[in-house]
Amino acid sequence: MTKKSLYVTTPIYYPNDFLHIGHTYCTIAVDTYKKFKTYQGYDVFFTTGTDEHGQKLEDNAAANGYDNPLDYIDPIVASTKKLWESLDIHYDAFIRSTDPQHEKNVQAIFQKLYDQGDIYKGDYEGYYCTPCESFWTETQVGEDHLCPDCGRPVQIQKEETYFFRLSKYRERLLQHYKDNPSFIMPKSREHEMINNFLKDGLEDLSVTRSSFSWGVKVPFDPKHVVYVWIDALSCYLTAAGYGYDQERFERLWPASTHFVGKEIMRFHTIIWPAILMALGLELPKQVFGHGWVLFDNEKMSKSKKNIFYPEPIIQTYGVDALKYFLLREFSFGQDGSFTREKFINRLNSDLANDLGNLVSRTVSMIEKYTDGLIPEARTYNEVDEDLKAVALTILDKVNEKMEDYDFSGAFEDIWTLIRRTNKYVDETEPWIAAKDEDKTRINTILYNLSESLRIISNLLYPFLTETSLKIRHQLGLEDLPKIEDAKVWAMTKPGTRVKKSEIIFPRLDVKVEMEAMVDKNEALIKAREEEKKSQDLKDQIADDKKPEITLDDLEKLDIRMGTVKKCIDHPNADRLYVLTVDLGHKDITIVTNLKSKYSIEEMEGRKLFVLYNLKPHNFRGIDSEGMLLAAEDGDGKLALLTVDEELRNGAKVE
């Protein structure tokens, strides 16, 4: 790998359901990191994807009526890709664990580990959590026998399984941590791994399942499927070209940083390095464990009904607002709570007041005082020098923060300049300077303001790309910013024409927006439920086609048009009507269950179709001499069949 090349990854996501804001956190962070390093001149390869095997997905697919789990998974994967697109996420590889090349790799890896004795066959008995697809020990599940990860009840399960000799790698892992102090970041997570999992020994790991079949088959024993972790973790290799593009693999591997949520650190810092050691492959340089985005201090989950989806937020406030909030509000390594109030307040204070306002007042003043042309700065006083000095130090600070993935700190540094520039406006009072006959002072102030904003746009470019470009557009700068220009003062050409456009971040009413956010989130959930229902219905209608009949069979039906002359309640049945229907040549009696749908007034006088030659049937003492034709949509909605033109009673359906 050349010096300036990086390979970064997010986990591959379970396509169980639509992704929520928490899921977007890591992807937004890694994408921003990629954009920043690219801006610095690195060649960055970024991988994400979906983790598509396992019992939960098999069960979910079956519960939704799909024989082939992929039919259930494909639309969710498509929605995931669409979400990344709408968030302007620039990944280089999207790996699906069901990709044939990946499945081939998993089998080859498994075979190699088995052949060399790192995998062996045995029996496993333990407490199993189906939703988490994890076995736990007695101590881990505690007296209540609850899964330590999700808190749901676990069941004892025994099965024949293949084990990976994880125990063999304990010493080497500890040594690796020692020799590579930045392998696990933040450092506190390394202590967690050692204290919770390595200190008291390490057990071999069950790596196959025979209780379900949706997975990569063990090549020499196909009743077993490879359990999630060898399968999922190896995606990082497949995405890098392992097994099919050696040149790319050599260029990318080892990965620079795997970014993962804190609950999957164990898999990435113990199991994954041990597998790689066994395979004789280099270990990733680093695994970074980020915190969780909580919602009102609780973990987001469907059962708690506190899931917030990113789509309505992006549509209403823009991609940059969501990115800014997630990366600025929370410290990347720690948990943080998403609250609607904090979100709107941040937008108002940082984006609307500090930044948006600075842009709009600078451009307005240039329009007003210097005919829309950026003037020339002549003489610099102390305040001007201070602004310039602050502006030119920010990039170094941001670079430093980004070495530690400190997105929040990087934003804080950029905002130091934004706030300093706002203060500069207050200190220099351009509206007073504008009244001077000598324009030297106002010209200098306005030039410095636009120059400071140019540097701000340079600094923001990899973080809030859209916003950066909007600022540049207003400043009349149509070229893409270059990072090194953030350390140069006086680059803007005097005489550049500014273009006042709409406010980049309007101020929002906290209360109104907080309510609107809930409404829009709920509307999305409802719309998705409706869509699912209508899809289910389509599938149902398509699936339950009755056996074919011939024209002769059809000939047997005698269907005629009639008019309801009289409708009365059935004397012996609460839910039934007794109708007298005029079929033209005679009146007949029909008992019907349409009472819940139509009133007597609605029935009487109604034209409808009757199956006339149906064998009479006695309903609670009254013979029904035919049947009305109605359609039901499977959703409980019912309607009587009718015609688009007036027909006389007795007209036959041919």
Nearer to ligand MSP, 233 or 508 (CB): 233
Nearer to ligand MSP, 51 or 190 (CB): 51
CB of 49 to ligand MSP, least distance (A): 9
Cβ atoms of 26 and 323 closer than 8 Å:
no
What is Dmax (Cα atoms) for the chain? 107
Where b means 16+ CB within 10 Å and e means fewer, 376-387 reads bbeeeeeebeeb
* CA–CA dist 140, 229 (Å, integer): 19
Which CB contacts under 8 angstroms, 24+ apart, belong to 630-638?
630/594, 633/537, 634/537, 634/540, 634/541, 635/533, 635/537, 638/594, 638/597
| Pairing outcome for strands 286-290 and 257-261 | parallel
Cis status, amide bond into 100, omega within 30 of 0: no
Phi, psi of 60 (to 5 degrees): -60, -45
Task: Report the C-alpha dihedral over residues 36, 41, 43, 46, rounded to 10 degrees.
Answer: 0
Nearer to ligand MSP, 237 or 445 (CB): 237
- Least Cα distance to 52 among 35, 75, 69, 27 occurs for 69
Helix (H) or strand (E) holding 35: helix 21-40
Nearer to ligand MSP, 240 or 583 (CB): 240
CB of 261 to ligand MSP, least distance (A): 2
Task: Name the residue number minimizing CB distance to ligand MSP.
Answer: 261
CB of 228 to ligand MSP, least distance (A): 7
CB of 230 to ligand MSP, least distance (A): 10
CB of 414 to ligand MSP, least distance (A): 24
Nearer to ligand MSP, 12 or 73 (CB): 12
* CA–CA dist 343, 446 (Å, integer): 32
CB of 232 to ligand MSP, least distance (A): 4
* CA–CA dist 409, 427 (Å, integer): 26
Nearer to ligand MSP, 32 or 492 (CB): 32
CB of 217 to ligand MSP, least distance (A): 20
* CA–CA dist 623, 588 (Å, integer): 10
CB of 273 to ligand MSP, least distance (A): 13
CB of 497 to ligand MSP, least distance (A): 45
172: three-class secondary structure by DSSP: helix
Nearer to ligand MSP, 289 or 481 (CB): 289
Nearer to ligand MSP, 298 or 478 (CB): 298
Q: Which residues bind ligand MSP (CB under 6 A)?
A: 11-14, 22-23, 25-26, 51, 232-233, 235, 260-261, 263-264, 292-293, 300
Nearer to ligand MSP, 238 or 467 (CB): 238
Helix (H) or strand (E) holding 260: strand 257-261
